[in-house]
Amino acid sequence: MKERLLTYLVCPFCAGKLSLTVENAQNEEIIEGELRCVECNRRFVITRGIPRFADLDSVESDKKATAEGFGWQWKHFTQEDARYGEQFLGWIDPVTPDFFRGKVVLEGGCGKGRHTQLAATWGAHDVVGIDLSEAVETAFSATRDLPNVHIVQADIFQLPFARVFDYAFSVGVLHHLPDPKRGFESLASKVKPGGHLSAWVYGAENNEWITSFVNPVREKLTSKIDQRALLQLSKIPASCLYLATKLLYGPLNRSKQGSAIANHLFYNDYLKSIAPFGWREQHTIVFDHLVAPTAFYLARDEFEVWWKDIQAQAVVITWHNKNSWRGFGQIPPE
């Protein structure tokens, strides 16, 4: 933890100020220490460089299973992919890299920190990435040399921050929470008046085949089996996906005539978008869909209500790859 993070932090229980005790530091990084709330006296440890406001033993079993599944995955799949930047921009459109310049940014559910890292390299003043899972360890080691990145282990429903952010975003996380809308509202509550918010969630529309066929398998079987076994088992559907994108969707979509045919194929927009990815990335996508105990698929009108209820302004909701919703809006200025 870098000391400048302290200016954004408050007690997640009472919003009181936190006092810092450093036990061990390496250069700018506080490796071991303690944060104590001056109001309610609760203590939060800093271990292995990360302030800990939540741990998996203190959250409900459902959230815990989700975090464990993804945490294990993010530690296992640490491959970097040059397309991450482009993919990230696809999820937060109409936001562009320039938008980050000089802003104080919060990522709700940072996983292994790849978006946090991108936001930092695009010139954010500070980026704070939070996650509940042990993926924070990977995120921390990937970002500790970036002076404007801060990784915090925290629960999105109980964020340890004052209302200090110019921009907050969450991609691919809210739909895995037991109450996605409440997670969204919690994130929005940390954005300054006049600041901005982005969220990307699975769409209900066009995903009926997932909700009808994949979800029952995920809920009853794959989210419950051992992750190492699931990793092997998920190679079967991943191989089908890989062959389909490499032999059919990818080649067809590269020509004008082919695209005309591909447009009639099942799930073309999405499969076209992942066709350039390599085996490991595609395997990750399949594993991701099978590991989570909770996954909500949201209809556009439900997603619209989220933005209305936080009184967001100039909201832009767009359909991404014909299988998901992305939203961007402004928190009302005071």
Residues lying near Zn ion in the complex (CB under 5 A): 11, 13-14, 16, 37, 39-40
Question: Least distance from C-beta 54 to Zn ion, angstroms?
Answer: 14
Question: Least distance from C-beta 34 to Zn ion, angstroms?
Answer: 14
Closest CA to 161 of 331, 49, 6, 306: 6
Q: Rg (Cα) of the chain, in Å, rounded?
A: 20
Residue 11 vs 136, nearer CB to Zn ion = 11
Residue 13 vs 279, nearer CB to Zn ion = 13
Question: Least distance from C-beta 104 to Zn ion, angstroms?
Answer: 22
Question: Least distance from C-beta 37 to Zn ion, angstroms?
Answer: 3
Residue 14 vs 225, nearer CB to Zn ion = 14
Asked if 81 contacts 281 with a C-beta cutoff of 8 angstroms, the reply is: yes
Distance, in Å, from the CA atom of 96 to the CA atom of 328, rounded to the nearest integer, reads: 12
Question: Least distance from C-beta 130 to Zn ion, angstroms?
Answer: 18
Residue 55 vs 179, nearer CB to Zn ion = 55
Pairing status of strand 29-37 against strand 18-26: antiparallel
Residue 9 vs 110, nearer CB to Zn ion = 9
